[in-house]
Structure 1
């Protein structure tokens, strides 16, 4: 994998990789940050609850060992099972306050005293914070108890305190460890996502590289094995390359055909002008004009062939042509019948379709005796057939290929240039269509069958496989 170009493009302002990495970083940071806060908060509460439970247990132990001596005041009848109460200024303290403010303390308080006990609420355990003898922050639990003595029940306030240093250090260590762990996890996740994005976009970079090589003429096709997500894009690019190549090839052929077609008429025209034959010159001039117009139409159709949105309704075009031809052939009484699938749509420019159908229908009217039929039908998925039939003499066996050549006319008695059917064949091939000529089984004359890529209006277009 070539990481250097990918990493170089990572910081481009319009880089997909950069956008995905930034969004991933933000999402991972937000998600892991919230989880880390929740974990730290929960563990802090758990640590504090554990410390309070231990402190409450020691408070119960001190209360259980508390007694009252009328001579000395409150006393502990037995030591509390925590050696820290015996070590001076250890951070673990207890204090008893009897009637008249008489106080007895643990050895750990040395000559210091805890703050006076609160009196509200009178029942239950009270929790608060205060400063210890070393200025440390203390967590204090206190409770008022009634101790039986010879003189009745004596009220005594019992206080037990722990320094928060140990709990605070434990919470700080937990917080730093959780933050470090989640930071490493987040960094790893972002790095993995960045590598996955770079690897996942590799086919696009390969496609761009091969497309540049096609443009530079170093290769003819894109050979990337694309994943299914971008395979349609690569297929369309390849189709566009082929279409452009075909367009260039058609333009080259048009130029060659035009040059070849003009060569003889120009020579004849030159000889006619040199000999002063103006009638012959005019004939050759008309021939030249027809040839130029024919190749211009072919060039235009070649440019439009395969273009998106070039779609026409053949039945509507045939009906419009039929209306016009009925007027032109009214003297001969030609009956023109147009029928078929109204929803049929062909992939061809409307002007080119008019040119093709116009030539076929005019040819049928010219050679037909009195009847011309046009029918539009759906052949199969993706193909539309337009059948133009007449009741004329039709074609002799073996003539169907000859009449599709430019300038060939089997009936010299009829006016024309011999380019009509050739133009239809050329235009049909440019649109990936076909023109076939055969004898009509219904009317007995010529049957011209034009097939073009198409669909019904209610269906999606399906291109050729």
Structure 2
């Protein structure tokens, strides 16, 4: 249960980490990049606007035109091969340009615009992009005035160069952030999983019978689960004790009248004696179950091979005269999640009946399956069991004509035990020609 929760938690944590590293950080990278580029464009407009008003403040109005000082205040416009240029037009004629525009070969758009209205836009001249700020002003006074258009250009490649440098820096920091975030999340995942691991360990110890309840200290989120599990354990323990006491009392109460019946004239009848023996066998079985049923079977883990070897050794002696050829294939690590006595009862009854029904061969296979859990397959070369008789075989007190020596109460006990572990019995024909009993116990069912 907890192992599945841990796997589910790790999967969710993995999705979160993948989301952060593959979706969140790249989205943050592009968002920051776009915001920075927008800031660069806005800063460029502000810078060009400052240069523009600086030029207007330095222009000198003359009767035959305008005059500009040899060196202007903006250093970018005084430097050759700069990426910023200033041009002044009057009546679509270039009347002044900054020193930075000496080698400029482009002719900007000088179409007339409304005086006093500035315009900032991205333009393309001779295959290269520029950011252009233009303003048409009226110079002079009320008696004599002239109109001039100021144009400032800045290469867009300058913005892209700054953007590229910023992105390289941002990538480096994002990589550092990704590594740091991944490390912190991994540490957080391990730290958060520790209580689940401790709880899983305690539950495993309870299953192995090494402890009776869960007693560790856990976070608030797991405290309720801990309390519920301990409540379940206590409830099951009390129920098992009541069951054992009631079953023991009932079996002991039946022993005395059964002894009287067996010593009475009624027991002289062979058929009546057989029925009394069957009743006595059932009582002995229930007494044995009552004696061993006080502990919780779900806590126990029984290695199958020693139990199977013990049963086959006993059967070999019981049916020595029949010369049965036993074949057993059982993994050393195969384990039955239940009580050893119950496993012996299940296998003992079925193998005993197979021995009674077989001609001379009985095969036993025990295997573990990831989906079905542990599977027992017992086959014989006897007459087999017809399909229309298989359900009847598992009913208490039923006995098939072809299996007169067995498959009566024993098979009903097996059916009850398998059902108590939420397993299932499948009866079919075997490859040997007789009956095949397949018993499946999944790991989830045993829990």
TM-score by length of 2: 0.49
Structure with greater helix share of residues? 2
Rg larger in structure: 1
